[in-house]
Structure 1
């Protein structure tokens, strides 16, 4: 049975991953309509290693060259403290694809495969949230 804190933490993650975050550009609140959202959270093997963190970020920048990625964001935990916030990860990778087929293509893209091969030794844990629009 989950504790209340774990439930709130996981619900908060699911809300963000579920696309409840609205992005608007030039007043267009439907910018993400019918898009495929892929959000990845990385925990480093060597949690305190600035070098490993920098290397992972370098790899994610290379990964952004995959042609089916429409936009991406590399992030780190914000300095916010509330019970519902999980800031235990080191780096996040947020990408937008036009559709599920483009995201599936990304999974087998040589750039993505090379990223996993060259950088997977850096992380101890990866959590992925893929989301599509609510119908």
Structure 2
């Protein structure tokens, strides 16, 4: 085998060997158990266009308040990725939030929890639109 082909083949094998376990690890981490569904609460926020950069950053306090609500299994938030534009990709939102719960009941408790209600009261004037997707994920 010529050196160039060997290097190309070896690089592909090493990359595949590194990526496959990492991907498998990420999917199993969604749940952490074998086959038990997890309830996923995914929220998109479109903040008002007239906010300053400081106000947009200040909005992260909303997430930090929510993070403290009991019953949450996993908690993530962030801004849209700078992915390549495609017809199916909508990166028009300002922030997204993903929270995972062990049960639908835990999600329902979170939904009316006083800390959740306080965060909404404190920060809802920042947004113009919110979309929520709740789902049960299988690993």
Same-fold status (TM-score > 0.5): yes
Contact 1:47 1:90 in 2 (8 A): no
Shift of 1:129: 0.5
Indicate the structure with greater helix content: 2
Correspondence for 1:78 among 77, 81, 87: 81
Gaps of 5+ in 1: 1-22
2:92 is paired with a residue whose SS is coil
How many matched pairs?
A: 112
Rg larger in 1 or in 2? 2
Shift of 1:90: 0.1
For normalisation by structure 2, the TM-score amounts to 0.72
Shift of 1:31: 2.1
Q: How does 1:21-60 map to 2 (within 5 A)?
A: 24-25=24-25, 28=28, 31=31, 33-46=36-49, 49-60=52-63
Correspondence for 1:107 among 95, 111, 118: 111
Contact 1:46 1:122 in 2 (8 A): no
Contact 2:40 2:137 in 1 (8 A): no
Gaps of 5+ in 2: 1-22
For normalisation by structure 1, the TM-score amounts to 0.74
